[in-house]
């Protein structure tokens, strides 16, 4: 399995450049970065892990700026987002950011996307919470239109774009969705907990799933595969990448037995010495 990492990079942690070089020197396969534009201090939304929300959530670096630095100082390290909050972006701008990073890095980008958990953060972006999933689907369709090889118009429920010249294009070749429809763009994985809505979205417009924490896959994978194949997707093309995993030998062996090809391990949000100690501990899984 390829062993990638994720971390909340902030203004108080190791820098993107120092971390990127350490990862590539040691043979890790990739770096995925999360996203929060801001964390309103008056917040009714519970923290996803319970208790007080750690400070790192409000100090997170912009993932695309940070990954641009990472790209410039590495040659092989894959660059991922985990996750991009698509509903909080202008999709035309986001399509340009993603395609530019993918072009400059030689096609090393994985776009991890999701729906978010912080109602107040999303509201400041004008997102209506109850329709956020439909909004993300709509914005991803618009982005795929801009990534298509020929100028392609898109008119959706929430947004539209004229047939346009939009370069650079993502490096990855189109894949096939159901009914012969092409999937344009970088590898796209949707993060979130198992469930019918999430699995339907994955089969509809993604390459696979980022299961947060990586638990429960024995039960959930057969369900996702059934939904995937019912949508007319190639069974061999589904990609499952356990995300933000705290590794143990048993857990990693289980992922290998499931036939998974990549796992993303969680690094502490910390200064460089602590990060290097964590990488040395993770090296046993390379």
Can you name the residues that pair with 80 across neighbouring β-strands? 32, 110
pLDDT at 20: 98
The arithmetic mean of pLDDT across residues 33-56, rounded, is 92
Q: Assess whether pLDDT exceeds 90 at residue 49.
A: no
Distance CA 282, CA 243 (A): 15
Q: Is the pTM of this model over 0.85?
A: yes
What's the mean pLDDT when you consider all of the chain?
Answer: 96
The mean pLDDT of 99-108, rounded to a whole number, is 98
pLDDT, residue 251, reads 97
What proportion of the chain, given as a percentage, has pLDDT over 70? Answer: 100
pLDDT band at 276 (very low <50, low <70, confident <90, very high): very high
Region 84-111 average pLDDT: 98
Q: What is the pLDDT of residue 178?
A: 76
Pick 132 or 44 by higher pLDDT.
132
- The residues that bridge with 2 in the sheet, in sequence order, are 262
- Per-residue pLDDT tens for 160-191? 999 999 999 999 999 988 777 899 999 999 99
Residues 76-98: what's their mean pLDDT? Answer: 98
> CA 127 to CA 132: how far, in whole Å?
7
pLDDT band for 43, please (50, 70, 90 cuts): confident
């Amino acid at each position: 399995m390829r062993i990638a990492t994720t971390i909340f990079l902030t203004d108080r942690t190791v820098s993107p450049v120092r971390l990127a070089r350490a990862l590539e020197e040691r043979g890790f396969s990739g770096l995925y970065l999360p996203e929060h534009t801001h964390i309103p201090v008056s917040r009714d939304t519970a923290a996803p892990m319970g208790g007080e929300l750690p400070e790192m959530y409000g100090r997170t670096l912009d993932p695309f700026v940070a990954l641009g630095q990472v790209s410039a100082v590495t040659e092989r390290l894959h660059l991922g987002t985990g996750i991009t909050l698509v509903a909080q972006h202008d999709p035309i701008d986001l399509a340009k950011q993603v395609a530019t990073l993918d072009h400059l890095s030689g096609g090393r980008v994985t776009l991890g996307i999701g729906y978010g958990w912080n109602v107040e953060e999303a509201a400041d972006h004008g997102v209506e919470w109850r329709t956020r999933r439909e909004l993300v689907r709509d914005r991803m369709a618009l982005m795929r239109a801009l990534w298509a090889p020929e100028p392609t118009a898109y008119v959706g429920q929430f947004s539209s774009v004229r047939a346009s010249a939009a370069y650079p294009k993502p490096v990855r070749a189109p894949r096939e969705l159901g009914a012969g429809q092409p999937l344009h763009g970088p590898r796209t994985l949707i993060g979130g907990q198992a469930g019918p809505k999430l699995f339907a979205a994955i089969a509809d417009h993604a390459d696979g799933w980022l299961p947060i924490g990586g638990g429960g896959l024995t039960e959930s994978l057969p369900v996702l595969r059934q939904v995937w194949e019912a949508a007319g997707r190639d069974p061999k093309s589904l990609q499952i990448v356990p995300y933000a995993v705290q590794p143990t030998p048993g857990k990693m062996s289980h992922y290998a037995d499931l036939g998974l090809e990549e796992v993303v391990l969680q690094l502490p949000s910390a200064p460089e010495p602590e990060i290097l100690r964590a990488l040395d501990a993770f090296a046993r899984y390379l």
